[in-house]
Amino acid sequence: MSVHDGLSLGLKYVAGATATYWLAVFAYRALLHPLSKYPGPFVAKLTEGYAGFFAGLQRLHLVTQQNHQKYGSVVRIAPNRLVFNSAKALHDIYDNDRVVKSHVYLVTLGFTGTINVFSVIDRIAHRTKRKLIGAGVSERAMREFEPTMAGQIDIFLKQILESSRKSEAVNMSTRCKRLTMDVIGLLAFGYSMNTQTEERYRTLHGGIEASNAHNNVLMQWPKLQSRVIAYPLHYLTLSAQKQAFELIENMIKTRTAEGKDSRRDLYAQVADQLESNPEFRHSDIWSEALFLIPAGGDTTAAGISALLFYLARHPECYHKLQQEIHTTFSSSSEIHGGSQLSNCQYLRACIDEALRISSPVNGTLWRELAADDDGSRPFVVDGHVIPKGVQVGVNMYTLHHNPEYFPDPYAFKPERWLSSDEKEIRHMKGAFAPFQIGYRGCAGKPMAYLEASLVIAKLLWYFDFESAPGEAGQVGGGKAGDETGRHRPDEFQMYDVFASGHDGPMLVFKPRGNYCEELSTQ
């Protein structure tokens, strides 16, 4: 036998063995796996590549909802994953001390190799990090930080005024991202990125979104971490990610040079931990920064942009909210955190309704039983006993559009949150989780509500606005006839990159009477 024939025969054996191995794996997953009884797309039963593919297209949330409509409230979305669509499942999973984040969160460690409050799995370590971050975004901290936030909102308003004088259509996603990025930079590091007024740090948005998209694909399809397979995916986003990390590095170095006691920002609190806790490292600052900037910036921008989209398309809601703002406050100086703003119930209802229809985090947050759980008690999710090692979750987009909890789920109806039927309100709130629930719930919830409330209230105080004329006015909505789930023109479209990418709405503003004169003189 020649060398060529021997090599050929060897390759055939390898190919045959490989094919046999994968046929056996697929047969087990389809027929013998503990989850084989659960319905779902056939390909999803065989490989995580199904979810990874649609994550790459940034519409996994839409596909997940379509699968629930086809297969029911429990769907096998990957060989070892079940996704649920019920409020009972939401609480059984996320409000459960036995459950921890899935190990797939470790794929987000990226450049720093250090866990942060987002990626940490261990409950004790999470409690420590959560306490640290929570202190910086608590209601008390927000009261102290609010004047700084208000200063950035004033810059935002002045730029809207300038655009209104030119009759320019304004892309609110762009403006809101810049505003929230500047706010979170000041909160975290006392650092003025000035993205609202300068070009230097504006590329940070793109870098963060590229990093989020990259991580989301890996979280859905962890085997892509293989160096050979992952390299092309990593290469596509490497440039944007590196640029973002270099900008953040400069921000941290600048803040470090000032000394920790120069400002009472979040950095100062982390620096205190570095001095007093030997378990903390300098890389912890890096890691928390890489979490805080997108978590505190992009998600808030998504919520504000979504609400502006819906207000521009629902004039009855727009005028009702504008009336509430102008009857609650007698001057712009009164628009600040406190009882008056908290008593704007229709404003809160509008914010919640926008967060429901177009949640900033539309995906499925995977959970599993803790490794140290002895299994002496069954882990039950909405009546289903879950084997140890199986990952479970609730898809937020699907749950927030479940008509069992939210009748006419695609309609923007803030009034649903103001119902006098307490049972109905409890029923809805039990299925409403834009900031998650349980001990893993978002620590920045008070900040997000405060910032969104101030921005919307002040915009309606100073301006009238409407959708831009022509095609520009359609930016942000779905397109009739689209077959991917984006067919509703009146739904603000979110692109699932774990957090949500978004564009629009394009709005045209007009100053209200003489209200804007004080903006011009500030």
305: left (phi over 0), alpha (psi -120 to 50) or beta: alpha
Q: Is the Cα dihedral 447, 448, 449, 453 positive or negative?
A: positive
Q: Max Cα separation, the chain?
A: 96
Tokens of 352: 């919640």
CA 174 to chain centre: 17
Residue 265 φ then ψ, to 5°: -105, -175
Tokens of 16: 């045959």
DSSP 8-class letter at 304? H
Q: Is 213 within 8 Å of 58 (Cβ atoms)?
A: yes
**106: exposed, middle or buried (Cβ count in 10 Å: 0-12, 13-18, 19+):** middle
Residue among 171, 153, 149 nearest 458 (CA): 153
Q: How far apart are CA 95 and CA 100, in angstroms?
A: 10
Q: How far apart are CA 461 and CA 110, in angstroms?
A: 43
SS (H, E, C) 443-485: CCHHHHHHHHHHHHHHHHHHEEEEECCHHHHHCCCCCCCCCCC
Cis peptide preceding 315, ω within 30 of 0: no
Tell me which amino acid residue 227 is: R
**DSSP-assigned letters across all residues of 245-302:** HHHHHHHHHHHHHH-GGG--SHHHHHHHHHHH-TT--HHHHHHHHHHHHIIIIIHHHH
**DSSP-assigned letters across all residues of 361-403:** --SB--EEE-TT----S--EETTEEPPTT-EEEEBHHHHHT-T
Q: How far apart are CA 45 and CA 40, in angstroms?
A: 7
Q: Is 512 within 8 Å of 463 (Cβ atoms)?
A: yes
DSSP 8-class letter at 360? S
Flag whether 442 is marked binding.
Answer: yes
Q: How far apart are CA 322 and CA 324, in angstroms?
A: 5
Q: How far apart are CA 465 and CA 457, in angstroms?
A: 13
In the annotated binding site, the residues are 442
Q: Which residues are annotated as a binding site for heme?
A: 442
